[in-house]
Amino acid sequence: MLESKIGENGLGQSQDRQQPTDGTTQSQFSINVREHFCIALAIATWGPLLTDPLGLNTVHVEILTDNTSALAWSTSLVSSNSYSQELNRWFGLHQAMHQLHVSSRYIQGVLNTNPDPGSRALREP
């Protein structure tokens, strides 16, 4: 959905928004995108360290996540979200550059004893 708003200078400003099924408006940079970003960042950061030094073998890396959207996007490299599309291009590039095969597996949130700071606050704001 494309929203148009009048800014302080009187000009219309367009803002791209996703429309969730519950009728509320949510930014495209949702928690799902932030979780997906963490997966892509991990591969970009540690990919060079995981690469076979001789370049003979493809290394398998398994990602565990409690976010089903990030799981689907990183597994299929397909998303309708524009931020996740860019992350998927970056993610695929790093897999190819470092000869990695990345698979993702779902872990229930209650079993995830090491949640990332992006998904859970230490205390309520």
The pLDDT value recorded for residue 29 is 83
Segment-wise mean pLDDT, segments of 10 residues, the chain, 125 residues: 45 48 58 90 92 92 90 92 92 93 85 61 55
* Domain assignments of the chain as residue spans, ordered by start: 29-109
Contacts of 26 (CB under 8 A, 6+ apart): 17, 18, 19, 20
The burial of 72, by beta-carbon neighbours within 10 Å (0-12 exposed, 13-18 middle, 19 or more buried), is given as: middle
Residue 102: what are its φ and ψ, rounded to 5°?
Answer: -105, 125
What Å distances lie between residue 59 and 39, 41, 66, 100, CA to CA? Answer: 16, 17, 23, 5
The pLDDT value recorded for residue 12 is 44
Look up residue 43 and give its DSSP letter: H
69 contacts 75 by C-beta, under 8 angstroms: no
The model's pTM is 0.66
